[in-house]
Chains A and B, each alone.
Chain A
Amino acid sequence: MTAPLLDVRDLHVEFRTKRGSVKAVDGLSYQVRPGEIVALVGESGCGKSVSSLALMGLLTKPAGRITKGEILFEGVDLARLPEHEMRKRRGRDIAMIFQEPMTSLNPVLPIGLQLAEPLLQHRGATVAEARRRSAELLAMVGMTDPERRLDQYPHQLSGGMRQRVMIAMGLACDPKLLIADEPTTALDVTIQAQILELLTSLSRQLNLAVILITHNLGVVARYADRVNVMYAARQVEGGTAERIFANPRHPYTRGLLAAVPRLDRPRNAALATIDGAPPNLANPPQGCRFGPRCAHRTETCETDPVLAEVEPDHLARCWHVDAMSNDQEPAPPASVRSGPQREPILTANGLSRHYAVKNGGVFSRRHGIVRAVESVSFDIMAGETLGLVGESGSGKSTIGRLLAGLEEPTAGHFSIALGDQADATARRRAVQVIFQDPTTALNPRMLVGEIIAEPIRVHRLAIGKIAIDARVASLLTSVGLRADMVERYPHELSGGQRQRVGIARALALEPRFIVCDEAVSALDVSIQGQIVNLLEALQRELGLTYLFIAHDLAVVRHIADRVAVLYLGRLMELGPRDAVFANPSHPYTRALLDAVPVPDPVAERARGTRTLKGEIPSPLKPPAGCVFHTRCPIAKEACKQSIPPLRETAPGRFVACLEA
């Protein structure tokens, strides 16, 4: 085995805060060899990003510092290196790319200058040399017309393109190690696949070591050689991807793997979840940090477990590794719902939403029309969940806002079956929304109790303080929160608890129909499962109907009865969930499903590279004919000419494709 390029030994990072010091990384050790892709996996706050910023010497000063341990990079301890020495290595030997390519590039400088900077800094290149090399780099990361791109600004590029620029920037000085911190979390699945395939092939081609920080186990399975799982500032499991996925030995890893809805497994009745939430690192629990949430917990767990080898190339920090056998707990059979009632609660007919836009700039007055949603028709049956999927910019959220009455359709109409006496107020009440980010969707200055009571008061569903308080308490209980949470502010709750408040607020008006707009996308895997299960339980109890908007296809497959696939504002495919997922008719649906990696390294490595080429075109200028033809692998001449109508190919299955 080759010598490690990077050897992290017992790394400790502390942040000093007003409330005392927080151990953000508590004894992390791992190695990275040249050309290897090593994943750091864990939920938010587990220390995976902080540990990498520590490698780069980029911890926020003076609050954050390395308190113990060594970071040996080519034999030199980076943790002890003075800043001017560290600076020479940053961008030259070790490069880093970040999650949010929009904000990670300087908005007021041209791409070319930003790309040239490391070359000018570390290589002493002349401006002309740097420019030539920058163009080469852009070509290497698969950007067309690199010369012209150099003079463009970040806002003129799409998210995927910006991340390519970030990668090009990282590779400018031929680094030996690239740290990719959630590089595709902000991107669509199709673009995620493009970016990760690019990273992998570059890694192989340039013998580049990559540290891939991610929460997505599918991504880990497909792309990583080695995996380190982190939980509450500690490493709980580490080893080769094959061994860890085949036989996870830490209950947390096992829990995570069970909690992810997967496209390659039969659908279970309820998602497995990990109870509770990760501990507060200012005051971590004694003994095993996962103890309070662990089902296998015994008295031994009061003492801190050590990271020990359970088999060659496989470490785990648990006293009960031997009890973690690999028999898959038999999956409970897929739920057979008591057949949703077959009459539609909502019928949308030729729904369109266009926006007039000023085409940017102080000097410009040119106008254009964004066709966010273009003549979309569908029914939603009472008591069912309709999943709405598609890349960003496909019009999913716009449809949600139209149905919730937050916007008026430009053309077409929809009707909600509420009985004859329903007026506008009743309609408003009947349709509620659960938003994506509970942190920003709840007013930070209002108490939880006030947030939930407000709609009750406005619609006079209960009169008098006692009645309202009782109603709020029962709503909180129904979403799994304690009634005494009314006295808290949103920032005092965890992400999962905040989303429960968002759900309680939506339920306050006793709606019939709820639009869940990316309602679980901002949550960590273990919390996401809890919320999905809650939504399903509430649906059963209250007979709710959901429009479930999500970009995560596996979650949609788990929760939805039927699925609608959108592309550039048009409906591409609509049908029963199992039929669509097992046997997609539209090439776009197929491409979307193909782009999702499943958490199984064996299966993933057996699959070839498959990426949908290109990116979603601008809705200002949608392609003529079938809007998908520019990226479609089976497009024919005819597809450019006429817009394919939505045809019923089998009972309940609709496809808008000439070839299907």
Chain B
Amino acid sequence: MLGFLARRLLLAIPTLLGVAVITFLILRVLPGDIVEVKLRADGGAVTQEMVQKERVRLGLDKPVIAQFGDWMKGLATFDLGNSMWTGRPVTEEIGIRLALSAQLAVMATIVALVLAVPLGTLSALARGTWIDGAIRLLTMAGLAVPSFWLGMLIIMGLLAVNAMPPLVFRPFFDDPWSNLKQLFWPALAIGYRYAAVVARMIRSSIIDVMGEDYIRTARAKGLPEGKVVGRHGLRNAMLPSITVIGLEFAFLFGGLAVTEQVFNLNGIGKLFVQAVTQRDFVLIQTIVMMSAVIFVVVNLIVDLLYAALDPRLRVR
């Protein structure tokens, strides 16, 4: 078990290295850099001299290879550098926003599972009836509707009934009620699509599993249908669904960028968008690397869950 974990973490290194190289190169290929954006933002005349001085200060005058080397050295020593824009350490910039985004991601996942598991199961068991049809329509809509649009609809709806959520973020442990009131709606906007993908997966795997011989065995024992589905069906059907749940969780971070804009939440997604418009290389690189790490870790967790659910994958 420990050996497996160690091996998987070692295998993650080349993956992360690849992500680093590609992100770094793309940023260097893009036209424009932070110095111009920043200086022009202040208004007034910008001289070549000022640009050059600022470049030297940020280390952008060095050869590309050297810049990459510096960054790698920083990553290896967990010194992630300072934001090129604000000059504060990126860990600090990210740290103050991470709590909100992480909570949003977890809440979206909970919303998704709470919707997807029962809906997918019901849809499979009522296959071919109007219930199945209605649920499939709902999930199809979830795939088709972009989360920011759904977000806007939700906001308009909330405004219409005069129930605007609080605008200031309060950490959950300070003021849980205000916190949940603020984050529930964006979590729903993101979680709906997530739920749709997972529910469709659960539906098709339950349909497969319910045709298996061991389901017939369970019925032949005289178990009530609830136990047949719950104990024998769902657990086997969850196996393929877990992969999808994990993958979608990782993708969810991409969805945050847009939804946080819509709900005006000061989270990682918003920070990311800001960093890109400002060409804040250090911040962009760090956020991309962080998403890559999340991807790798989630995949690892999926594999561990697989083994927990399926004894055939455990060591004999």
Identify the A interface with B (CB < 8 A).
Answer: 56, 58, 87-92, 95-96, 98, 100, 103-110, 117-118, 121-122, 153, 155-156, 166, 169, 359-365
Contacts and interface: CB of A to CB of B under 8 A. Distances in A.
B40 interface: no
Given A95-B221, A361-B316, A362-B303, 7 more contacts: A90-B221, A103-B214, A105-B214, A108-B309, A108-B311, A117-B223, A362-B4
B217 interface: yes
Given A108-B235, A363-B4, A364-B315, A87 B218 contact: no
B222 A108 contact: no
Contacts of A363: 1, 3-4, 307, 314-315
B236 A106 contact: yes
A89 B221 CA distance: 9
B312 A98 contact: no
22 contacts: A96-B220, A98-B216, A103-B212, A103-B214, A104-B213, A106-B218, A106-B236, A107-B214, A107-B236, A107-B311, A107-B312, A108-B309, A108-B310, A110-B311, A118-B221, A121-B222, A169-B221, A360-B312, A362-B306, A363-B1, A363-B3, A364-B315
B222 A104 contact: no
Contacts of A56: 220
A90 B222 CA distance: 5
A169 B222 CA distance: 12
A109 B303 CA distance: 19
A288 to B, nearest CB: 34
A295 to B, nearest CB: 39
A96 B219 CA distance: 10
Given A105-B217, A363-B3, A92 B235 contact: no
B231 interface: yes
A121 B221 contact: yes
Contacts of A153: 311-312
B232 A106 contact: yes
Nearest to B235: A108
Nearest to B231: A109
A103 B236 CA distance: 13
Interface in B209-245: 212-214, 216-224, 227, 231-232, 235-236, 239
Contacts of B217: 98, 104-106, 166, 169
B313 interface: yes
B315 A100 contact: no
A117 B310 CA distance: 20
A180 to B, nearest CB: 12
A141 to B, nearest CB: 16
Nearest to B4: A363
Contacts of A100: 213
Count chain B CB atoms within 10 A of each CB in A89, A92, A100, A103 and give the residue with the most: A103
Contact of B316 (A103, A106, A121, A364): A364
Contacts of A96: 220
Contacts of B216: 58, 98, 104
A359 B316 contact: yes
Nearest to A88: B222
A117 B218 contact: yes
Interface of B: 1, 3-4, 212-214, 216-224, 227, 231-232, 235-236, 239, 303, 306-307, 309-316
B211 to A, nearest CB: 9
A58 B218 CA distance: 11
A96 B222 CA distance: 11
Contacts of B224: 87, 121
A107 B309 CA distance: 10
Given A106-B232, A107-B236, A361-B315, A58 B219 contact: yes
Nearest to A119: B221
Count chain B CB atoms within 10 A of each CB in A105, A166, A359, A361 and give the residue with the most: A361
Nearest to A153: B311
Contacts of A169: 217, 221
Nearest to A363: B4
Contacts of A166: 217
B310 to A, nearest CB: 6
A56 B220 CA distance: 7
A362 B307 CA distance: 7
Nearest to A83: B225
Contacts of B223: 87, 91, 117, 121
A103 B220 CA distance: 14
Nearest to B309: A108
Contacts of A110: 311
A205 to B, nearest CB: 22
A361 B222 contact: no
Contacts of B239: 108
Contact of B232 (A103, A109, A156): A109
A77 B2 CA distance: 59
Nearest to B306: A362
Contacts of B3: 363, 365
A91 B306 contact: no
Nearest to A172: B221
Given A360-B312, A363-B314, A106 B4 contact: no
Given A361-B315, A363-B315, A106 B307 contact: no
B274 to A, nearest CB: 41
Count chain A CB atoms within 10 A of each CB in B231, B236, B306, B316 and give the residue with the most: B316
Contacts of A109: 231-232, 235
Count chain B CB atoms within 10 A of each CB in A105, A108, A109, A166 and give the residue with the most: A108
Nearest to B311: A153
B214 A104 contact: yes
Nearest to A92: B222
Given A107-B311, A362-B303, A362-B306, A156 B222 contact: no
A88 B227 CA distance: 14
B246 to A, nearest CB: 15
Contact of B220 (A58, A360, A361, A362): A58
A90 B221 CA distance: 6
Contacts of A91: 220-223
Nearest to A84: B224
A88 B222 CA distance: 6
Contacts of A88: 222
Nearest to B214: A106
Contacts of B313: 360-362
A465 to B, nearest CB: 42
Nearest to B215: A106
A121 B221 CA distance: 9
Count chain A CB atoms within 10 A of each CB in B1, B213, B310 and give the residue with the most: B213
Give me the 8 closest cross-chain CB pairs, A-B, nearest first: A91-B222, A90-B222, A91-B221, A103-B213, A363-B4, A153-B311, A106-B214, A364-B315
Nearest to B212: A103
A164 to B, nearest CB: 14
Contacts of A105: 214, 217
A337 to B, nearest CB: 45
A104 to B, nearest CB: 4
Nearest to B216: A58
Given A98-B216, A363-B307, A89 B222 contact: yes
A301 B116 CA distance: 60
A52 to B, nearest CB: 10
A155 to B, nearest CB: 5
Nearest to B7: A365
B183 to A, nearest CB: 35
Contacts of A362: 4, 303, 306-307, 313-314
A90 B220 contact: yes
A363 B303 CA distance: 10
A166 B217 CA distance: 9
B204 to A, nearest CB: 18
A642 B153 CA distance: 82
A71 B1 CA distance: 54
Contacts of A359: 316
Contacts of B213: 98, 100, 103-104
A606 B220 CA distance: 36
A377 to B, nearest CB: 34
A294 to B, nearest CB: 36
